[in-house]
Amino acid sequence: MAARLKAIYERVDKVDAFVGMVAEKHVSGTEFGELQLAMWKKQFEALRDGDRFFYQNDPFLRVIHLGFGIDYRHTLAEIVKLNTDENQQTTAQYEVLSIPTLIVFKHGEVAKKVIGAYPKRKLEAELEPVLA
């Protein structure tokens, strides 16, 4: 590749920027050279940071974190499941007296509480008005 580029461009400072970028050796584990990887990274960060609808830019995330100790770094499994033995204050706050207890929050408030195990269709029927 280097020999072909030298034959076409004679000197490295005459290589077309796009050709040079595409010809770069790929960074391990990627399909890009260092320059192209840096460009894509910068572009996507700018898109993300400027997108007011991107979930990490939501100002309500701080309110949720302060009020419930939940932030976007938690997996869905961590949010759905709460160890009642280790979180007795939260358990008492939401009056969880039996397991399983499902609590649906809407705008930071309890919108629905379902206590006990339900068949899928019954659970769907219980939650449908809240989730609609």
Domain locations in the chain as residue ranges: 2-50, 80-131
Model confidence band, residue 74 (pLDDT cutoffs 50, 70, 90): low
CB 32 within 8 A of CB 21: no
Alpha helices in 1-119 (DSSP H): 2-9, 17-23, 34-50, 60-68, 76-80, 88-93
SS3 of 114, please? strand
Give the residue with greater pLDDT, 43 vs 87. 43
Euclidean distance between CA atoms 41 and 34, whole angstroms: 10
pLDDT digits (tens, 9 = 90+) for 21-32: 899 999 999 999
Identify the CATH class of 80-131.
alpha beta
Average pLDDT for residues 108-120, to the nearest whole number?
A: 90
Quick one: tokens of 57?
């830019």
Alpha carbon dihedral 91, 93, 97, 98, in 10-degree steps, equals -50
- The residues near 96 (Cβ < 8 Å, ≥ 6 apart) are 84, 103
DSSP β-bridge partners for residue 103: 113
SS3 of 18, please? helix
